[in-house]
Amino acid sequence: MPTTSAPPLPVYLDYAATTPVDERVAAVMQRYLTVDQLFANPASRSHMLGWQAEQAVEQARRQVADLINADPREIVWTSGATEADNLALTGFMRANRERGMHLVTSTIEHKAVVDTARALESEGFEVTWLTPGPDGRVTPEQLERALRDDTTLVSLMAVNNELGTVNDLKALADVAHGFGAAFHTDAAQAVGRIELDVAAQQVDLMSLSAHKAYGPKGIGALYVKRHPDIRVEALIHGGGHERGMRSGTLPTHQIAGMGEAFALMGEVGEADRPHIDALKARFLAGLAAIGGVHVNSPAEHGVSSIVNVAFEGADGEALLMALRDLAVSTGSACNSASVEPSYVLLGIGVPRALAHSSLRFSFGRFTTEHEIDHALGLIRHALGGLRTPQASN
């Protein structure tokens, strides 16, 4: 073993937290920054440089719209999916308060939805929190029971970021519409993992993020269906950009990067999938051979890119410490007093002890079989040190 070389980089199995920017995306972003490039303000109407930057923004808008089968005029740029979720929930509920004050969502949504819904509760709106089944899915029947005459919006995610669970968007949207409510979905984890088609799936509002799809951090979009009933009130006021829904100078390089990332996803996303399916199968087989492993991700209706597993007899934080050469995540939240296990795992009924022993592994375009095998070796080794033999009584 050479002892002088730099330590190897950790194996990155945290694609659900963020993805690396694809080289092809980074190359496009470079064109919109420096003095000899298209750095101008896309809102500058008085010169050629502004128009050219605007053209770049509009091309990206088309690229994003194309991937979800929307019209470019239905795409509103935001700083990410967090802001898109805030705009969808708060913007829609406020704009429609005359029609009703009731929102329906689930307990295992991303914090960007959960915390926004909580903030709406403190503003006087009423929220019904659906508890999904053990697979993380909300059923149309369950949704139907929660809907009321004064429900104006239903928000349920496309793909859960901790479990990989895929909701049936079309079936849920149909139920919402049957009660006259609009349907929002957070699709940050869904881009490239499942087919997204706002027309076929009857989605009215969809949150998107670039950095979960090989684009840059700090840029996202909200799809807002062009329909008189689908209106959102701005949260950020200023120059009236984005048809008054979201003011602020548009970051051309970020937007061009998101456009390129989404266009690329349209081209190679389908080729990514069998690759990632194979990685998941290999990983699960390796885990089964290690033993004492409980898979929290659903056997059916889940994406291959996310595998959430509990390791019996091993504390998740201790395991994470022992797995320093592996970049993975726990869904736990630390506060000063304790480590709280993931609210998503608790939300689908995983017992506390197992939730404490759980890690999320997530794969992507650049993950290799070699990395999976290496990770399995590290896990086997770490567990050997942590799983102390149990006393027999």
Does residue 302 bind ligand PLP (CB under 6 A)? no
Q: How far is the CB of 56 from ligand PLP (least distance, A)?
A: 21
Residue 281 or 333: which CB sits closer to ligand PLP?
Answer: 333
Does residue 212 bind ligand PLP (CB under 6 A)? yes
Q: How far is the CB of 64 from ligand PLP (least distance, A)?
A: 13
Decide if 334 is catalytic: yes
d(CA 57, CA 122): 37
- Count Cβ atoms below 10 Å from residue 268 Cβ, excluding itself: 16
Residue 42 or 80: which CB sits closer to ligand PLP?
Answer: 80
Q: How far is the CB of 17 from ligand PLP (least distance, A)?
A: 7
Does residue 91 bind ligand PLP (CB under 6 A)? no
Token pair in block for residue 388: 């102390």
Residue 24 or 217: which CB sits closer to ligand PLP?
Answer: 217
Token pair in block for residue 156: 């349920």
Binding to ligand PLP, residues 148-187 (CB under 6 A)? 157, 161, 186
Does residue 216 bind ligand PLP (CB under 6 A)? no
Q: Please enumerate in sequence order all residues whose Cβ is within 8 A of that of 97, keeping only pairs 6 or more positions apart, or say none.
A: 125
Does residue 220 bind ligand PLP (CB under 6 A)? yes
Among the residues of 214-342, which ranges form H helices? 252-290, 316-322
Q: How far is the CB of 139 from ligand PLP (least distance, A)?
A: 20
Does residue 189 bind ligand PLP (CB under 6 A)? yes
End-to-end CA distance of the chain: 44
Does residue 82 bind ligand PLP (CB under 6 A)? yes
* Neighbouring C-alpha atoms within 13 Å toward the C-beta of 246: 26
Work out the angle at residue 157's Cα, subtended by the Cα atoms of residues 163 and 113, and round it to the nearest 5 degrees.
105
Q: Please enumerate in sequence order all residues whose Cβ is within 8 A of that of 68, keeping only pairs 6 or more positions apart, or say none.
A: 187, 196, 197, 198, 206, 208, 223
Helix (H, G, I), strand (E, B), or coil: what is residue 171? Answer: helix
Q: How far is the CB of 159 from ligand PLP (least distance, A)?
A: 7
One residue of 105, 209, 305, 367 binding ligand PLP per CB under 6 A: 209
Q: How far is the CB of 218 from ligand PLP (least distance, A)?
A: 8
* Rg value, the chain, Cα: 22
Does residue 80 bind ligand PLP (CB under 6 A)? yes
Q: How far is the CB of 373 from ligand PLP (least distance, A)?
A: 27
Residue 112 or 375: which CB sits closer to ligand PLP?
Answer: 112
Residue for token digits 């984005």? 242
**E strands present in the chain:** 11-12, 75-78, 102-106, 126-130, 151-155, 182-186, 205-209, 220-224, 293-295, 306-311, 326-327, 333-334, 339-340, 358-362
Contact region for ligand PLP (CB under 6 A) — 75-83, 122-130, 169-177, 317-325? 75-83
One residue of 110, 137, 360, 365 binding ligand PLP per CB under 6 A: 110
Residue 110 or 356: which CB sits closer to ligand PLP?
Answer: 110
DSSP strand pairing (182-186 vs 205-209)? parallel
Q: Active site residue: 33, 333, 334, 353, which one?
A: 334
Give bridge partners of residue 208 from the DSSP assignment.
Answer: 221
Nearest residue to ligand PLP, scored by beta-carbon proximity? 80
Does residue 246 bind ligand PLP (CB under 6 A)? no
One residue of 188, 222, 323, 344 binding ligand PLP per CB under 6 A: 188
CA-based torsion, 380, 382, 383, 388: positive or negative: positive
Catalytic amino acids?
334
Q: Summarize as ranges the residues that interact with ligand PLP (CB under 6 A).
A: 80-82, 110, 112, 157, 161, 186, 188-189, 209, 211-212, 220
